[in-house]
Chains A and B, each alone.
Chain A
């Protein structure tokens, strides 16, 4: 097992932007470039290398993804959606630049997406999912504007998606999934509502996501994947049950998924790397207290110092 190849990963992230035109992966992920930017930039910050980025260029590009409505698209010219709006806010928060936003406009875009039952639509086209509850709640909290929505109803809706295993699904009745659990537990953590979570039951389900190789899967009887190092770990930390997994084995699994030659981290050992898994691997290592990494906050998915700067002032 090698160590974390910090320099290689930094280089990998920095070069993604440059070769975007002729590369099939970047063409196929063009619609979520703003998520990619958030994953890459947050990874750089955790690695201690955010300074390597031209901040002004990034900020002005992010702003060019904003629509008249206040919401952000995944790229220039793409329709706005909560999925991209949170990433935009997170990027500006990383750079301590949210003051350049028209906050009333942005928060009214988000709060208008809350439905009568407390749930959130992702955009005007009406898809409902607890992922969108998290996106809205996290966005508004980062802008210190949680009072713009009905938090109590939002919480009640999330609770209505709780399952027999203590986990949460996208809508009432939908199966638990680690990514979805992160969204629900994260939203409940931010709104001081974790008492609704059955921590022992959910904690047991989550800790049983660790498979023999040390990696974590997202649902029972599925393959492990580095991305669950984030979804499962952050949830376990928020409910204070992270001691229930073998942390050393997980560190080993993540490190084995690195591309030592060209940088980047993949879903499983020897698969193709991407910025999404690079982020989840590095963020996971940060949650596992891997030496030399900035600690990351499990609920807001931003470095702890960035979150503290917002709330402890």
Chain B
């Protein structure tokens, strides 16, 4: 019951209510009898109409009317069939019943659907439907049933998108606080844009007008949300690249990598796109080592889902054993063969071909296996500042070298830049007289959009200002503090990864002789108050990563860092084993610290549907788990730990300081992780 006051009923009220209840009950009983006995007489239909007028939500009663309608059409005499007025009168009667029911409750799904059903039979007047709609849409401008019905009628009667767009303009001019109208406007404009209708292509003119239109709404009452989402949509329409683009890779373009030879030379190749894509396979991507084209390459998405899509894709290449030659440098080329076969999730093909090449050399080293494995420490004392002459830093450079854009892209973005620049000016002006959150938030978004479009020339020109805006928002709008904090973290990481110099500030060198596990450099993004990870495309080279002492509750994104072998996540807010799901993709991970998090402290797991699980049908239940559980009912709680850790080859793990970790769990872990040498600082024997 919505919006009905709570009060104790007086005896008079109770009597009236009981009387009414008895009356409706009698209608319901009689109706069901008619329904079950297929009685469709005039009297029976009148009784049904009465019932629907009192209770339009009584679904079975609408079904009955449809059966009766069809029954009465079939059973009519030939004379009646020939009489179009007769059919019309049957239809009119149905429309009248619907209209009465809607007057009782204009949110009745059953009533609106019945009207659609009847109108679809033909013989109805567009005028009458629009008149009815205008009446209901005036009474309740936000009634989404009426708006849905309006779209239905517009489709059925071929009313043009332009005409309907004018209707939304009128509604908004009447009262801009009408989210439903803004919504319908976005739907209609999307249609017109897709059709490249006259006046809507190129987008430039229409976008300028729309920015102005929505600005009027937002500036009139900045606290009214109706225009907020529409403005964000316009911004997206302005800046978005309308197809998937390969933005980064491991190894990076034109780099030299040096690999140790154990029994074979195997290394991952990662493709990283600006958005999730599907269709990466040996048909769409060609891999060539020297002159040999590798035909049977398997690419896998680094993502948990049922349909094989991902923003990052990996394959593992190996240089055939018979070809080992220590003095040789192998040239590897990766290029799109049929880039149209690679599509975004909405089906837009990656229509621009791409390619990159890198060089691989091999070095002879003793395999680590068999040797004793000393504990790897990741504390401040383990590191010294970096020697910039280090070989590895050359590799980093590849991520920051300027890429020349196509000319047409530059010219096409000129009007975009001007448009965003103009919006920036307006929102700055708004903030001079209104200290409002939407002003600050929109300005921050506009500035980031501006920077992203000019990134090759002046990266992150506005980043300090944006960080400042988010800091202010955290204070101004405390209930949504965490949202701004997350945005802040993403911007901060953009800043950190924006140039070689800023990234090197966070790179540290291991004091001890670098091992094949740690590599020589550790990227330390610790103690930055990060609540979220981003800018992954700039971090694909990372082998050792320190994210300790932040506020991370998710590590989504790390799955793309295929070289990662050493990871410190201690002192964060990871709240469940499912939060560690991205680690399942990191086949090189050997050293992991997840100590002092919140695993096991929460009854509700917010990562439950972001990980692979039988509940989301992304993996099957593994019956082998029973062996581990060994009939112990409590161990069922360790299922998630089993799926995450079961696929890892960890040698060193720190997990102390989490509620879920007790003696029983530790013995479960030791059983599960065969290769584990160090657990919470203790050497295992």
Give me the interface of A with B, judged by CB distance under 8 Å.
Answer: 21-28, 30-32, 73-74, 77-79, 81, 83, 123, 125-127, 129, 141, 146, 151-152, 155, 159, 163-165, 169-171, 173-177, 189-196, 201, 203-205, 207-208, 210, 214, 219-222, 225, 237-240, 242-246, 249, 259, 266-268, 270-274, 277, 286-289, 295, 297-300, 307-308, 311-313
Contact = CB atoms under 8 A, between A and B. Distances in A.
Contacts, number: 233
B665 interface: no
B616 A79 contact: no
Q: How large is the interface on B (under 10, 10 to 19, 20 to 34, 35 or more residues)?
A: 35 or more
Contact of B233 (A79, A81, A164): A164
A135 B394 CA distance: 55
A141 B617 contact: yes
Most buried by B among A127, A151, A203, A239: A127
B63 A24 contact: no
A177 B148 CA distance: 13
A27 B307 contact: no
A143 B225 CA distance: 41
B615 A164 contact: no
5 closest Cβ contacts across the A-B interface? A192-B306, A246-B479, A192-B618, A189-B609, A220-B225
Interface in B609-626: 609-610, 613-618, 621
A232 to B, nearest CB: 13
A126 B305 contact: no
Interface of B: 1-7, 17-18, 20-22, 24-25, 28, 32, 36, 55, 57-60, 62-63, 66, 109, 113, 117, 142, 144, 147-148, 151, 177, 179-180, 183-184, 186-187, 190, 224-226, 228-230, 232-233, 276, 303-307, 309-310, 345-346, 478-480, 482-483, 486, 553-554, 602-604, 606-610, 613-618, 621, 636, 639
Contacts of B6: 259, 266, 270-273
A171 B479 CA distance: 32
A244 B616 contact: no
A31 B57 CA distance: 8
Nearest to A222: B142
Most buried by B among A129, A141, A205, A243: A243
Given A170-B148, A221-B179, A240-B607, A165 B617 contact: no
A298 B608 contact: yes
Nearest to A26: B21
B615 A311 contact: yes
A195 B57 contact: no
Given A27-B21, A175-B184, A220-B179, A272 B142 contact: no
A74 B32 CA distance: 13
A268 B3 CA distance: 7
A224 to B, nearest CB: 12
Contact of A126 (B117, B554, B606, B621): B117
Contacts of A83: 59
19 contacts: A27-B28, A28-B55, A31-B59, A78-B60, A164-B190, A164-B229, A189-B609, A192-B307, A193-B306, A195-B345, A203-B483, A204-B483, A221-B179, A240-B607, A243-B482, A246-B480, A267-B1, A270-B6, A288-B604
Contacts of B232: 165, 201
Contacts of A23: 17, 21
B603 A312 contact: no
A236 B57 CA distance: 30
Contacts of B225: 208, 220-221
Nearest to A243: B482
A195 B305 contact: yes
Contacts of A159: 345-346
A81 B224 CA distance: 39
A267 B36 contact: no
Nearest to A259: B6
B163 to A, nearest CB: 16
Contacts of B346: 159
Contacts of B226: 220-221
A224 B616 CA distance: 31
A81 B62 CA distance: 13
